[in-house]
Structure 1
């Protein structure tokens, strides 16, 4: 387990790869890992930083498929449950179970009886959900219903009129989605994949009616070069269509629709370790069994609270969406008018997060949106008559590993290679070789260096898993690196490690994706400057570059 990521663009030009993957979100990363584990030569490039878009800015939920019962979509229930179980197994440091409470009112479709039946059916359909999970702390318990009195013990402020109790079911949650994507990527690198961030694919290379690679541009130097591949996978998410549009014969038959999925972080705990489902103002038009409006969720996450999710169709440039103050106020109004009076205001929001997610065929003006039911996996030979190109656009983070497996299966068949079974369902990701996470974390805390808070060691063991010792080893180089940066839960050594071994090239890479620095708490004055100074020493930035990096991050923080 090395996990050493080095950006070497020369290596991308020196050979023909079996697979060239465009896009460093979770679907592209999982595709690269699966292919590399099967022995294929793989190159992956990303125009921004890895997991900089929806993969690092979603609601942190690992969905087990219970919502699809309302659609009668049993296959998707099973698929989501299986993929959630795999993530709990192969990444136990970054994925854990989350209890969710759904209040019940009256005795009709919103009552306990209906929900109890739904929970029993879900438990039967997912009866094998814990079959291979040996760590009890990562197993998904059965759902249950509780009494009115038990609900009021948990949430005494909840609306009491008509309250009959609640249903509790369990889903999954990611501790840090960007670190989870990075764990997959480091696993791909360990398996032999070549990767590079800040490399934009500008065109496809073609010969005799076949795609034979890509034309790429290093966005840090503006230099251009070719990457040759026997097969290209376009996993660029909301940018995938625009890339295909560069060639008139490669476009989608029906252009996909994307939703801006938005949520926000409250800088305090609003629940006692259990998530709360609230009623919203919108309905699911595809639901066969209708219980009322969709749910919003108030979810404990780290030492904060997540609230969301709100959806709106986005047809513009993938980089052009935002969340305005008016948007946030409308979100707050909807939450505060629900049956749990949270009385939140704009000053309670520490930051918002949003990303573009594949959705149903909705118009911008529609209020009750259709979820995207399936990821898109397109063989362009079948659709456009062009060999050598596959497009993958995923729907949910949870199913990325499984969709990557299907994508590589297709690529292997088309390349005429000997079929080999995917091993990503049983191979721990980088840092994930942990048999009992709670015991592992206790042992990690016992190694807490002098002057370091326990919560810092807990965060370190979460973000780096079984590889956290590599961070502590920096004390042999410079003991001062094993000290906290300001009021954060981040060690200085983590910044140095991110530059040397995790391809962090910009200050934003470290602040938003390699560490917990900007996960929702206010960033103290001096924290960013200290991070920039550490990176400057590693990357030999001059003062002009260091100031530019600081301005970029400060601008991002002021926006979100």
Structure 2
């Protein structure tokens, strides 16, 4: 049922990325797991000239990394857990990503509604010292929040790029947020950052790693999705291409396990039983509710619900993201948003905006994932450390091969974490770092214009015959990598908009398929675009995109029908999207045959 385990009826030919590994099935480092920390480590190792292979059992950024709250944040609430190192690093990395990936990471004004002055003062020390909650949770009052934000600001002094926090009283708060619960006493406003399209940022990171090898490094950087690690064989890691079923062995000097919540499962497959992980489930819903969107006044509402859980209401891409839960979860089971969680989200909206009606008809998308948290025994989920560590074991197939397992990690700290993991790997290889990523811009962030005048100049220089409006759209969507998209489009001369999805053209979708490792139909609708996320995946859109993907990948009519059926099941089960996979018309079947 899941993307990672269901074989497709797609073309059985050996994919070029798989063939690149089959041609030379050895590397200095094999990275298993293509979430944000895996791809970040792949990039960093490639930049150091390391011969590295990255494999991901499903699509890149389709597991835990696809279930984020789309935030790059310092974790103000982690102060309460005493995780000062993590908060400092998170704030520094937030500031850094605002500079290094300005095409996707944007400043995010965040408002905390506060309903008391002193609440939580007595229980805060207990939470800090014991990671437990005595009695019924109490909302944090203004004094406690003021102390936390003052400490939070102190971590931004070095290279700070966002304003410091500010407090407003009841009157000014209600002027800014007239739909807030009228018992609000204060609001506190501070800044973090949003990553509007995290999957696209990750694709840029992978591209940087692959480009590093092409730019003159002696080693190769090879990456492939839909390839899983299933065991050991002849002193190497046995891999399986889930598309074709082909099995092959890769030998490496170091194995890096960045499988996230599935780290222990991967280690077991490699012959080593570990118990590092203890993840929790976090779910979200996306609402099409203009009143709620407007009530947020252009920023995130971040607050504590009655149960003590920190939650968010967040205007994003024209919709409203509401999340998240924190429930112990089994990584062997698929993670889905339950109806009980939906009820919980509606309750928290009414807690802050009591006059705004929300219902299930407004949900355009839902998603859920398991956080890659460490094993936490009886520690309450909300108090489990969000910090990370690296565990070293040995590979069962060859005791001389070390295995580095990542425990923990989150979107905000992926660069620093990758640097740490790369440094440990380099030490095992007896190599030294030659390239720093601290000030290295990412993908389409290289040369990205951050002013209106700069954007106009870029558009004027790179339009290549496209309209200024269309060029600006592509710049926003891909950063300066839009230049490559534009070149691809203009070579094909036709940039006519799709009938069902006028923001895209056939040539642009073809580019995504040809250049961005697309294997399945769901890769396009869920991760190469945000069509599904914003509720734009109507039946006509699904049908039109299906044919484009099928033609580009050379599928037969039967293969396309299988892909459509598979996509419909997954989109319903994981995201609540109701689509159909009707039989293809004779004309469509003929077109697909001609395309092959």
TM-score by length of 1: 0.87
Does 2:323 correspond to 1:308?
yes
* Closer/same/farther in 2, CA of residues 197 and 420 from structure 1, 3 Å limit: same
Which of 230, 242, 246 does residue 253 from structure 2 map onto?
Answer: 230
Match of 2:384 among 371, 374, 378: 371
Stretches of structure 1 that go unaligned for 5 or more consecutive residues are 1-5, 131-138, 208-212, 283-292
**Which residue pairs with 2:61 in the alignment?**
51
Change in Cα spacing, 1:363 to 1:414, as seen in structure 2 (3 Å) is closer
2:118 is paired with a residue whose SS is coil
Confirm or deny: 8 A CA contact 2:56 2:225 kept in the other structure: yes
Asked if structure 1 preserves the Cα contact closer than 8 Å seen for 2:30 and 2:255, the reply is yes
Cα distance change of structure 1 residues 324 and 48 upon mapping to structure 2, 3 Å threshold: same
Q: Does 1:425 align with 2:438?
A: yes
- What are the superposed Cα offsets for residues 60-84 of structure 1, whole Å, 9 maximum, x if unpaired? 0111132222223221111101111
Report the CA distance shift for 1:461/1:150 in structure 2 as closer, same or farther (over 3 A): farther
Is 1:47–1:201's contact at 8 Å kept on the other side of the alignment? yes
Q: CA–CA distance in 1 between the matches of 2:17 and 2:257?
A: 21
Could you say which residue in structure 1 is the equivalent of 2:285?
Answer: 264
Q: What CA deviation, in whole Å up to 9, does each residue of 1:30-51 have, x standing for no partner? A: 0100000011011111111111
Deviations 1:204-235 (A, max 9, x none): 3464xxxxx31111111111111121111111
Does residue 1:317 correspond to 2:328, yes or no?
Answer: no
Any residues of structure 2 matched to 1:264-343 within 5 Å, and which?
264-269=285-290, 270=293, 271-282=296-307, 293-318=308-333, 320-338=334-352, 340-343=354-357
- Paired with 1:380 and 1:470, the residues of 2 have a C-alpha distance of 42
Residue number among 340, 362, 369 corresponding to 1:355 in the alignment: 369
Match of 1:178 among 194, 199, 211: 199
Q: Does 1:380 align with 2:393?
A: yes
SS at match of 2:474: helix
Which residue of structure 1 lines up, in the alignment, with residue 403 of structure 2?
389
Q: Are positions 1:126 and 2:156 aligned together?
A: yes
Range 488-497 or range 226-235, more displaced: 488-497
- SS of the residue corresponding to residue 428 of structure 2 reads helix
Matched residue SS, 2:91? helix
In the other structure, the counterpart of 1:10 is 19
Kindly provide the CA deviation profile for residues 169-208 of structure 1, in whole angstroms up to 9, marking residues without a partner as x: 111110101101111011111112111111111113464x
Structure 2 residue 177 is the aligned partner of structure 1 residue 158? no
Tell me: CA distance 1:34–1:529, structure 2 relative to 1, closer, same or farther (3 Å): same
Pairs aligned (count): 525
Secondary structure of the residue aligned to 1:34 is: helix
Aligned to 1:532: 546
Deviation of the 1:359 alpha carbon: 3.2
* Change in 2 beyond 3 A, CA 1:103/1:169: same
Q: 1:172 is paired with a residue of what secondary structure?
A: strand
Corresponding residue for 2:232? 204
* Distance in 1, Cα, partners of 2:100 & 2:417: 16
In the TM superposition, residue 316 of structure 1 has moved relative to its aligned partner by 4.7
**Using the alignment, how far apart are the partners of 1:341 and 1:295 within structure 2?**
21
Q: Partner of 1:214 in structure 2?
A: 237
Given that 2:66 and 2:199 are in contact with CA atoms closer than 8 Å, whether structure 1 keeps it comes out as: yes
Match of 1:521 among 513, 535, 547: 535
Root mean square deviation of aligned Cα: 2.7
d(CA) in 2 for partners of 1:359, 1:16: 31
Q: Distance in 1 between matches of 2:303 and 2:69?
A: 15
> Does structure 1 conserve the Cα–Cα contact (< 8 Å) formed by 2:35 and 2:60?
yes
User: Partners of 2:498 and 2:162 in 1: how far apart?
Assistant: 35
Post-superposition offset of 1:376: 3.4
Within 5 A, what are the aligned runs for 1:37-116?
37-109=47-119, 110-116=140-146
Q: CA deviation at 1:486?
A: 2.1
Asked if 2 retains the 8 angstrom alpha-carbon contact of 1:372 and 1:395, the reply is no
CA separation in 2, counterparts of 1:445 and 1:302? 22
TM-score (norm 2): 0.82
Greater alpha carbon shift after TM alignment, 325-334 vs 214-223: 325-334
Deviations 1:488-519 (A, max 9, x none): 63333231111211111211111111112212
Cα separation, partners in 2 of 1:448 and 1:420, compared to 1, 3 Å: closer
Please list every run of 5 or more consecutive structure 2 residues that lacks an aligned counterpart in the other structure. 1-14, 120-139, 214-220, 576-596
Question: Is the 1:33–1:184 contact (alpha carbons within 8 Å) kept by the matching residues of 2?
Answer: yes
